[in-house]
Amino acid sequence: MTDFAGRHVIVTGASSGIGLATARLLVARGAKVSMIARRAEVLAERVDEMGARNAAAFAADVGDRAKLEDAIAAAVHKFGPVYGLFANAGLAGNFAPATDYPSDLFEKILKVNLTSVFWAMQAVLPAMIEAKSGSILITGSMASKRGMAMNPAYVASKHGVLGLSRAIAVEMAPHNVRCNCIIPGFIETPAFDLIPEEQKGKIEGRVPQRRMGSADELAEVAVFMLSPAASHVTAQDWAVDGGTLETLEV
């Protein structure tokens, strides 16, 4: 069942889009949810809007290891040991030719999208191993499975999190700790509001279902993968993309 029965789940990138939708659904399914994001005021507003005792905000930039670890420690202090981690925070990066791509931006994207996920894992895994129970889910991308021109940092980071999820899944399987990767397709999030309507139409035309997905649709899959209902599911990647990934060249 996807009833979390008071289990503590941490969600990063929780102030909007996929992270917020998943946090809301986790709360509705009975989880105690610690929401981490950079924007303290926005994050606090989202928690207030939810009006739930079992949700709390912990502002931190996941790219800052000390602040991320402090936020996780504060979350554990409030809600107890962590059963689930949804490592969702990430940056898209800039589009530029590989020969001109700024090295400092490359390093920043890798730190936020990949290294911070490993930091978060290191913070929560000891307690999961001790409890012999835990579930980790990482937000990947279609760029985890396919190449993409002009954005080497993003593609490298998203290939990286898929590999990381598989490595951790295999190592943690004897401890009954699972790790999986969710692959969003074209999902309607605040970022898509900035896209001109004619471009949105072109994007929808690339999806076999002829529409973009919603954050709520992705959240349903994310919550299932985090939940005890998926107790025999680990080392997997699950695309929520309306069939788009299968239409892209390898």
Query: Is 240 a member of any domain?
Result: yes
Reported as a single tens digit per residue, the pLDDT across 34-63 is: 999 999 999 999 999 999 899 999 999 999
What pLDDT does 194 receive? 59
Residue 93 is predicted with a pLDDT of 84
pLDDT of residue 250: 61
**Considering just the CA atoms, what is the radius of gyration of the chain in Å?**
17
Given a cut of 90, whether residue 94 has pLDDT beyond it is no
- Are the C-beta atoms of residues 222 and 18 closer than 8 Å to each other? yes
Environment class of 69 (CB within 10 Å of its CB; exposed 0-12, middle 13-18, buried 19+): middle
Report yes or no on 1 lying in a domain. Answer: no
Which two tokens mark 152?
């080497």
Full 3-state SS string of 225-247? HHCHHHCCCCCCEEEECCCHHHH
Q: How confident is the model at residue 200 (pLDDT cuts 50, 70, 90)?
A: confident
Residue 71 has pLDDT above 70, yes or no: yes
Residue 3 domain-assigned (yes or no)? no
Average pLDDT of the residues of the chain: 95
- Give a yes or no: residue 33 inside a domain: yes
For the chain, how many structural domains are there in total? Answer: 1
Higher pLDDT pick, 201 / 215: 215
With respect to residue 111, please indicate whether it lies within any of the assigned structural domains: yes
Tell me, rounded to whole angstroms, the distance of Cα 135 from its chain centroid: 13
Q: CA angle, 194 as apex, 201 and 203 as ends, to 5°?
A: 25
Q: What is the mean pLDDT of residues 98-119?
A: 97
| Cα gap 236→214, rounded to integer Å | 22
By residue range, what is the domain housing residue 111?
8-247
Helices then strands (H, E): number in the chain? 8, 9
Q: Which pLDDT score is estimated for 107? A: 97
CATH number at residue 180: 3.40.50.720
Question: Catalytic: 101?
Answer: no
**Is residue 148 situated within a structural domain?**
yes
Q: What is the pLDDT of residue 195?
A: 67
3-state secondary structure of 11: strand
- Model pLDDT, residue 2: 73
Amino acid at 181: C
Residue tagged active-site, from 79, 106, 119, 154: 154
CA distance 179 to 135: 6
Please report whether residue 177 resides in a domain: yes
H/E segment holding residue 58:
strand 55-59
- Answer whether 162's CB lies under 8 Å from 145's CB: yes
Q: State the pLDDT at residue 235.
A: 98
pLDDT digits (tens, 9 = 90+) for 21-30: 999 999 999 9
**Domain-embedded: residue 130:** yes
> Percent of the chain, pLDDT > 90?
87
